[in-house]
Structure 1
Amino acid sequence: METHRRSYGGEMANGVWHTGYGLEINLSLSDLGHPGRPDLLREITASVAERDPQLLECLAHHDGRDCLSESGGKSPWMFIRRGRVGGRRPLVASHLSVTHKATPAESEQHKATKERVVETASRYGLDADAEVPTANRRSISDALVTGPGGIRIGWEIQYHHLSPSSVHRRSANAVQQDITPLWVAKDRTASLIDRAPWARVDDMPWRDIAGGKEMVIRGGYRHLQVWKCVASSERHCLLTDGAGHCGEVHSDWFLPALCLPEKKAVHLEDLVLSSATGESVPVYVPNRGSGRSGRHMWVSAADCERWLEMVGEKTPLPEAPGQEDDDKITFAEQEIDLNCRAGEEGWFVSDARPIRDLGQPTGGFTLPRMPARRSRNPMLILPVERAAASAALGCPPWELGPCTRCDQLMRRYGRDAAMFCGVCRELLNAR
């Protein structure tokens, strides 16, 4: 059989040596070549920070053959991640850097952001500590902020690449401990985006962060917008993809700058306070027509309540799926490559990580038509119908009531209220 020599991604290989078990692992096989070890995949894909850095070794180095890593600032020790090429996600092994920790500047960025979160929370009178382990000791929050009502927010400052599985695992562990995770990224391609509650800030020098320079939330916080789909609307139609106007009432989530009118930008300090007090809450909204993908976002509690009323839900929206389709590992069943590939960047092919923070709407939701006639008994009006009427008429739900003449829901109470709807007024005036 011809040996397959193609790997995916710079300085990567499809095989590795497990120093703990004394095993040769073929990353292109679904069982890694060891069907009797079902936990092997989880063990080797764990973060280097959570295992022995010398657990995985270059096969060439282990066999005493030429290993080119040490001459190029790399070590013979390896880490495993998903590659990306042509829509496939193979497991690949790469050499760790001799010093694989973050650079001093990057570490200072992380430290400065963490300290700013803690200092902000303390200034608002909230309980806050840095480097707090969960009760089961499975993870550590960079900063844990506790609100007056007992809400606990676990801030995770993640300025480096982290595998989606690690994001899911650590987030799930936090939730099990009654901690709401809040991940902070600075890169629009960060894999944590839309895989857990998140916020993206600018990539700025650590001295600016520590010095109190404005830190705007660029992604991850949205506002609910509701509009009547008519010719005069500045929003496009969700049902016709902008080709016309359907006359229905649409709603969707937008970044502050894309709201009409534009909303004020949300700053890091705002989110520290509002997340801990419950004024801002995390939700997951599936994309229209796809339950396998969607948006994680922070929103105001008022917007969340209004959204749940409109979609007819009484409970929080569902969580994101544990693993998205584009994260599924591809096993090509190749023969293992025993050579060291460190430094041969031209030998490999790798797709760039896609931009995940696109700032696009979620796909929206179209409310049911406002009922033409309903009983005078307000208890018989369905909540979703009341929400549709409220949005269409631009008034709060408690100002709704039936027209005295035809029972059409209308603005019956409060300022600018009337006894008859517009149609009935015209008929009465025509007499």
Structure 2
Amino acid sequence: MWHTGYGIEINLSLPDLGHPGRPDLLREITTSVAERDPHLLECLAHHDGRECVSEAGGKSPWMFVRQGRVGGRRPLVASHLPVTHKATPAESEQHRATKERIVETASRYGLGAEAEVPTANRRSISDALVTGPDGTRIGWEIQYHHLSPSSVHRRSANAVQHQITPLWVAKDRTASLIDRAPWARVDDMPWKEIAGGKEMVIRGGYRYLQVWKCVPSSPRHCPVADGAGHCERVHAEWFLPALCHPEKPAVRLEDLVLSSATGESVPVYVPNRGGGRAGRHMWVPVDDCRTWQELTGQTAPLPAAESQEADDAITFAEQDIDRTCRAGEEGRFVSDARPIRDLGQPTGGFTLARMPTQRSRNPNLITAVERAAASAALGCPPWELGPCAECGQLMRRYGRDAAMYCDVCRAVLNGR
């Protein structure tokens, strides 16, 4: 490409783009076309006076940069304007119907709701802005076609800077916005069904915290022993409603419109403990969020700064610059299908060494994290916890269904 502002050639296969003295060049050329001069990047063939295939076909010689995906590599790809995807009439109608349904739902609940609201600096526009009773603002972003991860990060960060919590809506399990910001996935349905009020279930992006003691009687496999045996420790992970024990009711779009604005549902960011993606974004019940914070000490609902994820890292082939116009051939750089990002698997993960023992029968020696984990795992409030009369392990000692001995000690005593 030719950079019309600096009057330089750009080689996208080199880490420094061929200009080591311009460290900000990559950020500048990957800025959204809506936020820069659309004539900033020019087809090199067109600039050299040679045939530009795109212009010869009645299209534009001007260009933008996107990230490809092929064979595990993520090269930068120069593509001709207009952008590669324009919403189809069906997608536009889906988008409009979903936006109107969110605004109508919020208004029906007595919440403030507006459509197409720009931020103060006008760098982004919320499809629907819903305001809760305490002033909480949720910026709904309906994104039914592909959007680059950098655009999701940039628009989400801009919303947060203006005290707006972003909530992205997708219909595709491969959508790049998944886990880049607070999100929700709905079914791909005709716009008439959306406008007609057909149930829209949140299929991904909303989870419940499950805390359990890893014993043979537990309905769950051990997450740290690859399903082999039980480790006697306390685990906490986030699950989709249908995978909870007992199963939780499905969350509908209307439910999330109300609960996100009233604070009954809040966004949580869970860093990955095993590597790969940087972490997971999800909406969760506020009580589950408090339990998670007690267990992990995590207080910020969103990461302070988004880091580039491993599967988004740009790769550079370091080749000589290609001076041929390859309009129409860009697809060969993105031939690989986008990976499924919404896998529906349990995520997060916290493990306490074991159910804590009431050391020396002194309750002050039990840490807040241990008490919170025991309370959640046993399904009782903290004040009902007490020591097993035999082994001293914390158990449900007081209140309804209380006992003097834990299950293990009871079995031993009954066998004597």
Name the TM-score, length of structure 1 as normaliser: 0.87
Partners of 1:324 and 1:99 in 2: how far apart? Answer: 24
Hey, what does 2:136 align to over in structure 1?
A: 151
Q: How do residues 284-299 of structure 1 correspond to structure 2 at under 5 angstroms? A: 284-290=269-275, 293-299=278-284
CA contact (8 A) 1:74 1:98 kept: no
Between the aligned partners of 1:391 and 1:99, the Cα distance in structure 2 is 49
Alignment of 1:26-425 (within 5 A): 26-70=11-55, 74-97=59-82, 101-290=86-275, 293-311=278-296, 313=297, 315-316=299-300, 319=303, 321-344=306-329, 350-362=335-347, 364-374=349-359, 376=361, 378-402=363-387, 408-418=393-403
How far residue 422 of structure 1 moved from its aligned partner, in angstroms, is: 6.4
1:385 maps to a residue whose letter is E
Q: Which runs of 5+ in 1 are unaligned?
A: 1-15
- Whether contact under 8 Å (2:215, 2:230) holds in the other structure is yes
8 Å contact kept, 1:249–1:391: no
**Separation in 1, partners of 2:411, 2:77:** 73
Greater mean alpha carbon deviation, residues 410-419 or residues 151-160: 410-419
- Where relative contact order (Cα < 8 A, 6+ residues apart) is larger, the structure is 1
Normalising by structure 2, what TM-score?
0.90
- Following superposition, the deviation at residue 218 of structure 1 comes to 1.0
User: Quick one: structure 1 residues 347 and 119, their matched pair in 2 at CA, closer, same or farther if it must change by over 3 Å?
Assistant: closer
* Structure 1 residues 69 and 383: CA distance shift in structure 2, 3 A: same
- Between 1:98-107 and 1:126-135, the stretch displaced more is 98-107
Which ranges of 4 or more aligned residues in structure 1 deviate by more than 6 Å? 422-431
| Alpha-carbon distance between aligned partners in 2 of 1:169 and 1:98, rounded to the nearest angstrom | 18
Q: CA 1:121–1:381 in structure 2 vs 1: closer, same or farther (change >3 Å)?
A: same
Partner amino acid for 1:191? S
Q: Distance in 2 between matches of 1:73 and 1:258?
A: 53
- Aligned residues of 1:386 and 1:397 also touching (Cα < 8 A): yes
Structure 1 residues 226 and 185: CA distance shift in structure 2, 3 A: same
Distance 1:326 1:295 in 2: 14
Q: Structure 1 CA distance, aligned partners of 2:395 and 2:84? A: 68
Paired residue secondary structure (2:311): helix
Q: How far has the Cα of 1:267 moved from its partner?
A: 0.9
What is the number of equivalent residue pairs in this alignment? Answer: 415
With over 3 angstroms needed to count, the CA separation of the structure-2 counterparts of 1:421 and 1:133, relative to structure 1, is: same
Tell me the distance in 1 between the aligned counterparts of 2:259 and 2:389. Answer: 43
Deviation at 1:371, TM superposition (A): 2.3
Distance 2:84 2:394 in 1: 68
Q: Quick one: structure 1 residues 26 and 374, their matched pair in 2 at CA, closer, same or farther if it must change by over 3 Å?
A: same
Q: Could you tell me how far 1:178 is from its partner in structure 2?
A: 1.5
